[in-house]
Amino acid sequence: MSSSTRAPDILRYASSPFDDPKADFILRSSDDVHFRVSRFILHLASPFFASMLEIGQAPSNATGEPQAEGEELRDGCPVVPVQEDSDTLDNLLRIIFPQEDPALDDLTKLTPVLAAALKYEMIKATRLTGTKLRTFVPQEPLRVWAIAVRNRLEAEARLAADEICHQQIIVLDAFPPEMQHIDAGAYYRLLRYRRLEGEVEEDFEFCDPPPLSSSSPPPSTTQSDEIDGQNLSPLRHRLQPLADIVCRSSDEQEFPSHKALLAVASPVICALIANIPQPDGKGSGEPAAASSNSDLPHLSFDEDSATLQYLISLSCPGHPNAAAPLEELFMLRSLRDAVKKYEMEDTMKVLRHQWSKSMMADPLRAYLLAVSHRFSEEAQQAALLFLDRSVEDYYVPLLEQSLASTYRNVLLYHRACKAAAQEVTTGVGGPIPVPSRSKLCQNYVGHRYSSGHCYGFTMSTCHDLAINPTSLPENMNPQCIYCILLCRAIANATGRLESPSDALFTTLESLKESSARPQEQPSYHLHCSQAYGQDWDVVRDLYQTLYDKIIDKVNSAASEFIVV
């Protein structure tokens, strides 16, 4: 705002000494406080301001936005707006001017001053605030680590991480506000550093991702709905000379296409093509077509050029597109809306199928993509598949472009679901009843032992054994096989559910599938023999009970942690 339009009564100067009328330059804070300062001191203290104040160069805008020459003056001094508020700017200037250094005894005050010192390349201020930051490490190591990483201070980040290890802090359980500004890649490295107690590679850094190996998947290209769709497939280029229609986007971009392909892909577009006026009936108000396409009919779309170009590409045989994988196209809300609008059912099936394959192959990447595009259902589907993975060394490059809070949520979900499975499984044999013996236990009927678990006998004596096939005697009578198989059917399921490293989602699906097929044997994943069919009804009931109790807790965890 120029001096002629700014109301004088809302302008105010900072406190002494930054209200000196002899000053020759003014910095205006984000909350409209004016700081009178000396060009000379700014020039000495900050290379950033030194380049701004070069003789003969007009003052620039320190907010990073262009400022017209002579845009604002006050009392004959040029006024330059900055992004920092008045408290931050006051503390920063007191460090570089001949004044007593500010106390900065609180991380909330220190953090913006440190960031400003780095931004304006103020050596003294950076050194002082960095030293002050290190004094907070013993009391606030997680907060210091987050501040250091955000400002790319690797040494301070390593110092704080060592203190986190020393204090045995569980990183996943604490998430101070400063963590909200950290990317998931750095957070992954902190978790790994803590797990390894600092015993990491020599070139390990928190602030930079590791170099991609040849086997690592490439980073995602779709972080927003605005994708450059200029890289078309070779097939599209071969078909382009045979185009018989021009599709025009809402932003006036034109794309030669083919009526037959569009009509096959979409009944809605087919109807639009059929209603295109003949050339002699073309309205005079339509924009002139490009000379090379002047004789072709034109069809206007409401979609922008990026969306329309992908839509046309998906109408080609095989859905070729070199610009982005199909699972990433599925994450584009504008494209999905267009596919639904034009009733391109086959195309949607292909996109959904590719998305499912992508989730199965890399559920963490799929989860991060879904959250970044705010697709709740897809995020929960990917999180479920994530339960089959070990989280410790599961890294994807997309972590570097995602928020730490997003990554932490799926880790908390993973931990909660694993704990829920273990909690439910501890009730087997207690609150959750289990069969005490096989229906074909030939020794138990009429035996003097009238209660307890059998699961095998030797020397014509039943054994009251726990549900653990490893504890069964070796010298059993052949008839014991029925009880042994029943024991294993139960132990295999409970063992998988109790194991922190087992594939929880697959086990749950196996329990669900097995309990839903009353005449069939359990899923192969549970490794149950065909020989115990006589006991399948009680095993199936147990599997159904386990599934119902665990899936309720899994759904509750999803409601709590998988929030989009």
434 or 13, greater pLDDT: 13
The H or E element that residue 80 is part of is: strand 77-81
Per-residue pLDDT at 458 = 38
Per-residue pLDDT at 242 = 80
The set of residues, in sequence order, having a beta carbon less than 8 Å from that of 96 and lying 6+ positions away, is 41, 42, 45, 46, 122, 124, 125
The owner of tokens 């971009």 is 253
Q: ∠ CA 257-258-262 to the nearest 5 degrees?
A: 100
The owner of tokens 């097929």 is 517
Per-residue pLDDT at 10 = 65
The owner of tokens 């699906």 is 509
The set of residues, in sequence order, having a beta carbon less than 8 Å from that of 438 and lying 6+ positions away, is 454, 455, 482, 483, 485, 486, 532, 534, 535
194 or 472, greater pLDDT: 194
Helix, strand or coil, per DSSP, at residue 400: helix
C-alpha torsion sign, points 537, 538, 542, 543: negative
Q: ∠ CA 189-195-197 to the nearest 5 degrees?
A: 100
In DSSP notation, 454-471 reads -S-EETTEE----S-GGG
Q: What percent of the chain has pLDDT over 70?
A: 74
532 or 375, greater pLDDT: 375
Per-residue pLDDT at 419 = 94
Domain boundaries, the chain: 8-86, 234-277+293-361, 401-417+424-564
Residue 351 burial class via C-beta count within 10 angstroms: exposed 0-12, middle 13-18, buried 19 and up = buried
Q: Which long-range contacts (CB under 8 A, 24 or more apart) does 156-165 make?
A: 156/130, 157/206, 157/207, 158/206, 159/134, 161/190, 161/193, 161/194, 161/198, 161/206, 162/198, 163/137, 163/138, 164/190, 164/194, 165/193, 165/194, 165/197, 165/198
For the cut 50, the answer to whether the pLDDT of residue 444 exceeds it is no
If phi over 0 gives left and psi between -120 and 50 gives alpha, with beta otherwise, what is residue 132? alpha
For the cut 60, the answer to whether the pLDDT of residue 102 exceeds it is yes
Length of the chain: 564
Find the mean pLDDT for residues 263-281.
85
231 or 165, greater pLDDT: 165
At 299, give phi and psi (nearest 5°): -125, 120
434 or 144, greater pLDDT: 144
At 255, give phi and psi (nearest 5°): -135, 110
What does pLDDT average to over the chain? 81
In contact, 521 and 528? CB cutoff 8 Å: yes
pLDDT tens string 192-224: 999 999 999 989 999 988 775 434 444 443 433
Q: How many CA atoms lie within 13 A of 332 on its CB side?
A: 29
Residue 164: both structure tokens together: 């986190």
Q: How many CA atoms lie within 13 A of 33 on its CB side?
A: 14
For the cut 90, the answer to whether the pLDDT of residue 42 exceeds it is yes
Q: Exposure pattern of 522-548 as b/e (b: 16+ CB <10 Å)?
A: bbebbebeeebeebbebbbebbebbbe
Q: What percent of the chain has pLDDT over 90?
A: 50
Per-residue pLDDT at 410 = 97
The DSSP code for 446 is T
Find the mean pLDDT for residues 11-20.
89
Per-residue pLDDT at 319 = 52
For the CA atoms of 99, 103, 106, 110, the dihedral, rounded to the nearest 10 degrees, stands at 30
Please tell me whether the peptide bond between 141 and the residue prior to it is cis, using omega within 30 degrees of 0: no
For the cut 90, the answer to whether the pLDDT of residue 326 exceeds it is no
- Which of these ranges, 202-216, 257-271, 386-400, has the smallest mean pLDDT? 202-216
pLDDT tens string 507-550: 999 888 877 665 555 555 565 554 456 677 888 888 899 999 99
**In the beta sheet, which residues pair with residue 33?**
12
3-class secondary structure per residue, 233-275? CHHHHHHHHHCCEEEECCCCCEEEECHHHHHHHCHHHHHHHHC
Q: Exposure pattern of 276-308 as b/e (b: 16+ CB <10 Å)?
A: eeeeeeeeeeeeebeeeeeebbbbebebbbbbb
pLDDT tens string 276-303: 886 654 444 444 444 456 678 999 999 9
Q: Using 50, 70 and 90 to split pLDDT, how confident is the model at 445?
A: very low
At 28, give phi and psi (nearest 5°): -105, 120
Q: Using 50, 70 and 90 to split pLDDT, how confident is the model at 439?
A: confident
Residue 106: both structure tokens together: 């609180």
Per-residue pLDDT at 377 = 93
Per-residue pLDDT at 216 = 45
- Which of these ranges, 35-49, 246-260, 404-418, 430-444, has the smallest mean pLDDT? 430-444
Q: Model pTM greater than 0.75?
A: yes
Q: Using 50, 70 and 90 to split pLDDT, how confident is the model at 263?
A: very high
For the cut 90, the answer to whether the pLDDT of residue 114 exceeds it is yes
Residue 454: both structure tokens together: 């059998």
pLDDT tens string 473-515: 555 555 667 777 777 778 778 888 888 888 999 999 988 887 7
Q: Check: CATH 3.90.1300.10 for 234-277+293-361?
A: no
Find the mean pLDDT for residues 5-21.
76
- Which of these ranges, 201-210, 283-292, 304-313, 358-367, has the smallest mean pLDDT? 283-292
In DSSP notation, 154-220 reads HHHHHHHHHHHHHTT--GGG---GGGGGSBHHHHHHHHHHHHTTT---TT--SSSPPPPPTTSPPPP
